[in-house]
Amino acid sequence: MRPVVVLIFHAAAPDGAGPLVRGLAEARHSLAERQRVAFLAAGADSVEIVAGPPDGLSFGERLGAAIRARNAAGAAAAGGAIVLGSGSIPLARAADLRRFVDVAAGPGGHALANNRYSADVVAVSSAAELADLPPLPADNALPRWLEERAGVAVTDLRSRWRLGVDVDTPLDLLVLGSGRGLADLHSTAPLVDERLAQLAEVLTDRRAELLVAGRISAATLKWLESGVDCRVRALVEERGLRAASRLAQSGTATEARPPGSILGELLVRDGPESLARIVGKLSDAALIDTRLLLAHRHGTDEAASRPQAEDRFASDLLLPASIADPWLRALTESAASAPYGHPILLGGHTLMNGGLRLLAQRARAGAR
């Protein structure tokens, strides 16, 4: 069996970060420490939390540098590696972690991801494969690069929906119902708590209708057929948005179509303040993937002109007064103004998929 190293990448809050960014960084670091202990118990030989503030490096550059440094020290050249972010797989069980360790410790030429189309954790049986990564913008594209560029056989565990839950925003902590700083979030964002309670009523009401708009997986769509009591209207767009890096794809590169959204087009036409009116015509409650709306508006380059993390997190918590970006503030004000009993929740990938399952499970348990 090959030795296995686990690298948990953690982005510390930069100097001058706002309270939501700092709080999320602390919660994710706490989760990283918990994962460190759990991976050691699952059989990993070593686990390192690679922490630091944002430094302008891409995910690919940062991971490649970490592997090369370990190779130079003789620590990784002959072994396997597991790579994840500090917010990844908070619902993983011991058996899940052992699967990743087994693949990393096994014969070369193999990799395992939680989801090959949008990865948060990847095990590779030969860490040396990662030394010469291109500057992939995020970990989501790593399985595609391994398969199409490095010739590695990639499998995944996407049937285990709990492994698709990730902590990317303070809202995800509220959805999970656990994590460092949870009590502070409840006091900071009472409106979100109120809207989550109203959502539970919609999910268990056969006469109600839920709108889900954004990056919804096929597995989530299938589960929605029986996982909620209400009717569901789904607007599925840009699945694999963060995994579709041309740097990960084999063959001749073609001009990439910019990300787009039908709901985003409506908001361009009618303005962000029209969100509640549009949603009200279609449903009794809605979950809106604002990362897709922002990609529609600004493109996929997060370092360009899109709102800062503090603004995005405040939007997820329905705190428009804390948002500097005018467009996102207007969108959030509209969502926050939705009538009582008709909640609109804003968020990212976890809310639209695994988070929705958690909320529905709690709603059904509470309705018994």
Token pair in block for residue 1:
């069996």
Say what the pLDDT of residue 203 is.
98
pLDDT more than 70, % of the chain:
92
Structure confidence at residue 248 as a pLDDT band (50, 70, 90)? very low
Residue 143 · residue 66 · CB < 8 Å: no
DSSP secondary structure, 29-76, as one string: HHHHHHHHHHHHHTT-SEEEEEEE---S--HHHHHHHHHHHHHHTTSS
> What does the alpha-carbon distance between residue 303 and residue 259 come to, in Å, rounded to a whole number?
16
Tokens representing residue 33 in the block: 């420490």
Determine the pLDDT at residue 181: 81
* pTM higher than the cut 0.85: yes
Which pLDDT tens digit goes with each residue over 86-108?
A: 999 999 999 999 999 999 999 98
CB-based contacts of 218, cutoff 8 Å, min separation 6: none
- Name the CA dihedral angle for 261, 267, 269, 270, rounded to a multiple of 10 degrees: 160
